[in-house]
């Protein structure tokens, strides 16, 4: 079953903290990134049939983003090159613990509009799942979620790194309840529910899949809170894209017909493999790697 990612794409410039505790003057490496693109690549590596609708600038980086989608077996026919604009970029700072901080002000986000959604309604109709995220304008998100509801398409949604981009008024909370699954880290989960604990958050928003890093993941199943422990790793190298990896593999597993618990487990295993390497997309595992580790891991 097909997955369509209707979201952002761009390029990451990553600075890794050196042994002396300082960051280098030049990026340690650069690579394709951004939440939507990361999730599309993760779902494709998991074995799903993935298409992406996204915006890039009319520049070499934009062309590299499109080329990367194709190399990752993601259908990029609907990636739009915006004339006269540059492709969005993020700077990612990786500290000595492997945790990341993301900075940047993407300019193409404002071009994700209700009209853009309407122009691609035919492509959406053939999708089992549509994935999007809260980094994009709220009006765009509401229209996309409402259209998918009318078309009978399940939406998988993730808050962005800055959850404050998603206001939590009555209309926004109503939108969240229309979404099939929300995958979010602990901070995002507490922010969007105004709760003080993850257990309370998933009870308040039963479609929430709340990840807690080394603390595993919490979600509702059969009317009860389920907790699955994280997969132990020897060393955390870089958490960039871990949540996107989880989301992509989770979505791909659901699209393949697996149940909720199985799909969450595959997301956990995939994320555990990703955080042991540098980079986001460039360090995502394959479906076969996840299947092998899952067979050897008791969760």
> What is the tens place of the pLDDT at every residue in 30-49?
999 999 999 999 999 999 99
Q: Is the CB of residue 279 less than 8 Å from the CB of residue 238? A: yes
Q: What is the mean pLDDT of residues 250-271?
A: 98
pLDDT at 102: 87
DSSP structure class, residue 214: G
Q: Is the CB of residue 205 less than 8 Å from the CB of residue 176? A: yes
Ramachandran bin of 93, using left for φ above 0, alpha for ψ from -120 to 50, beta for the remaining angles: beta
Active site residues: 244
- Given a cut of 80, whether residue 3 has pLDDT beyond it is yes
Q: What is the mean pLDDT of residues 215-236?
A: 95
pLDDT tens per residue across span 170-191: 677 788 989 999 999 999 999 8
CA distance 280 to 12: 9
Place 163 in a pLDDT band, splitting at 50, 70 and 90: very low
Provide the domain limits for residue 148: 2-296
Percent of the chain residues past pLDDT 90, beyond the cut: 80
Question: Could you tell me how far CA 156 lies from the centroid of its own chain?
Answer: 9
pLDDT at 166: 52
pLDDT at 162: 58
pLDDT at 168: 58
Place 144 in a pLDDT band, splitting at 50, 70 and 90: very high
CA distance 114 to 92: 30
pLDDT tens per residue across span 64-86: 999 999 999 999 999 999 999 99
Q: What is the mean pLDDT of residues 255-268?
A: 97
Average pLDDT over the chain, rounded to whole? 93
- Given a cut of 70, whether residue 169 has pLDDT beyond it is no
Domain count, the chain: 1
pLDDT tens per residue across span 87-131: 999 999 999 888 888 888 899 999 999 999 999 999 899 899 999
Question: In this structure, what CATH number is given to the domain that contains residue 76?
Answer: 3.40.1190.20
pLDDT at 161: 54
CA distance 55 to 111: 8
DSSP structure class, residue 205: S
pLDDT at 160: 76
């Amino acid at each position: 079953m097909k997955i369509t990612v209707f979201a952002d794409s761009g390029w990451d410039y990553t600075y890794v903290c050196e042994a002396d505790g300082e960051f280098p003057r030049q990026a340690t490496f650069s690579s394709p990134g951004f939440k939507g693109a990361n999730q599309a690549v993760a779902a494709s590596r998991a074995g799903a049939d993935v298409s992406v609708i996204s915006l890039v600038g009319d520049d070499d980086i934009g062309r590299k983003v499109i080329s990367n989608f194709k190399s990752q077996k993601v259908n990029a026919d609907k990636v739009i090159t915006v004339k006269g604009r540059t492709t969005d970029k993020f700077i990612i700072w990786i500290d000595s613990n492997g945790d990341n901080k993301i900075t940047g002000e993407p300019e193409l986000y404002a071009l994700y509009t209700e009209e853009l959604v309407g122009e691609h309604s035919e492509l959406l109709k053939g999708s089992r799942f549509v994935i999007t995220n809260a980094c994009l304008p709220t009006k765009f998100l509401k229209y996309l979620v409402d259209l998918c509801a009318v078309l009978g398409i399940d939406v998988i949604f993730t808050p962005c790194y800055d959850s404050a981009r998603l206001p939590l008024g009555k209309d926004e909370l109503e939108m969240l309840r229309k979404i099939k699954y929300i995958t979010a880290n602990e901070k995002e989960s507490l922010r969007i529910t105004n709760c003080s604990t993850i257990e309370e958050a998933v009870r308040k928003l039963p479609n929430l899949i709340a990840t807690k890093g080394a603390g595993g993941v919490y979600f509702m199943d059969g009317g009860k809170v389920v907790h699955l422990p994280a997969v132990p790793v020897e060393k955390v190298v870089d958490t960039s894209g871990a949540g996107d990896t989880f989301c992509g593999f989770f979505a791909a597993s659901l699209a393949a017909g697996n149940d909720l618990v199985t799909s969450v487990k595959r997301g956990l295993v995939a994320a555990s493999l990703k955080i042991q390497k540098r980079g986001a997309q460039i360090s995502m595992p394959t479906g076969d790697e996840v299947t092998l580790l899952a067979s050897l891991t008791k969760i």
